[in-house]
Amino acid sequence: MSSCEILPFSATLPDTVIFDLDGTLVDSAPDLTGALNATMASLGLAALPEAEVRHMVGHGARKLIERGLEAHAVPKSAGEIDALVDYFIGYYAGHVADHSVAFPGVVATLNWLRARGVRLGVCTNKPVVLAKQLIVALELDEFFPADAILGGDSLTVKKPDGRHLIATIEALSGDLDRAVMVGDSATDLNAARDAGVPAVLVTFGYTPIPAQKLGADAVIDHFRELPHALTQVLDRTGARH
């Protein structure tokens, strides 16, 4: 990936980079929409368009279903939502990578970072079993140690709580002062702020508020811009020695 090679000679990369999954590494909205709509159909409710569902992603499976029900103005009890979450997860597990793909440049950039010794992890609010299933299905598992993939149910807290991100960095024995979070939403940015870690946001993800307006340390339109952004955010935070 030649466009990644134009870093200044002295540029310093982070020790550890932690990625969000949905809307950052993987364009998973088509399969999430399919699973949500199967869940809605189980209630006799109409399908929601993917363009609407993609902005509902990022807070875990339960929140996705709650937002789907809100879109139909159909209230459900907590117990009924529990059952719908089970239905959703069962369906999605069978369709996790029917249409989902890594965003352009992801594989080349992960290879580039790995070749330079950068530790790589995933911090997602997706249930961890599904996150690992998706990562394996898209053959991204070669980049991430299984125990450095933390889902929304891996701990008692999840993003935007910074402890979710810190635990992912610790799973890699990474240096918290030289780590960077890469995400697509305010949830990722707030987790990074809470953890005291700089954040790069992608513009092609699922945030309902444009990434450029969220106040990240850097914003990228394509993964090829990531190496440069990573060095910039470390510099801007005083290299965080």
Ligand X SMILES: O=C(O)COP(=O)(O)O
Q: Which residues are catalytic?
A: 20
- CA separation (Å) from 213 to 32, 106, 201, 231? 25, 23, 10, 21
Q: Does 127 bind Mg ion (CB under 5 A)?
A: no
Q: Do strands 16-19 and 149-150 pair parallel, antiparallel, or not at all (unpaired)?
A: unpaired
Least spacing, CB of residue 178 vs Mg ion, in Å? 23
| Binder among 60, 121, 174, 227 for ligand X (CB under 6 A) | 60
Least spacing, CB of residue 58 vs ligand X, in Å? 4
197 φ/ψ angles, rounded to the nearest 5 degrees: -115, 140
Q: Does 186 bind ligand X (CB under 6 A)?
A: no
Q: Does 55 bind ligand X (CB under 6 A)?
A: no
Cβ proximity to Mg ion, 20 vs 31, nearer residue: 20
Amino acid found at 127: P
Burial of 213 (0-12, 13-18, 19+ CB in 10 A): exposed
**Is 22 labeled as ligand-binding?**
yes
Total residues contacting Mg ion by CB under 5 A comes to 5
Element (H, E) at 137: helix 128-137
What residues numbered 69-128 form the site for ligand X, per CB under 6 A? 124-126
Site pattern 15..54 for ligand X (x: CB under 6 A):
-----xxxx-------------------------------
Reduce the DSSP state of residue 186 to 3 states and report it: helix
Q: Which does 61 bind (CB under 5 to 8 A by kind): ligand X, Mg ion, none?
A: ligand X
Contact 241, 21 (CB under 8 A): no
**Is 184 labeled as ligand-binding?**
yes
Nearest residue to Mg ion by CB is 23
Q: Do strands 26-27 and 218-220 pair parallel, antiparallel, or not at all (unpaired)?
A: unpaired
192 φ/ψ angles, rounded to the nearest 5 degrees: -65, -45
**Is 27 labeled as ligand-binding?**
no
Written as six digits, the tokens of 207 are: 């945030």
Q: Does 20 bind Mg ion (CB under 5 A)?
A: yes
Q: Which does 134 bind (CB under 5 to 8 A by kind): ligand X, Mg ion, none?
A: none
Total residues contacting ligand X by CB under 6 A comes to 13
Q: Does 23 bind Mg ion (CB under 5 A)?
A: yes
* Selection from 136, 141, 137, 138 nearest residue 114 by Cα: 141
Binding residues for Mg(2+): 20, 22, 184
Residues that bind ligand X (CB under 6 A): 20-23, 57-61, 64, 124-126
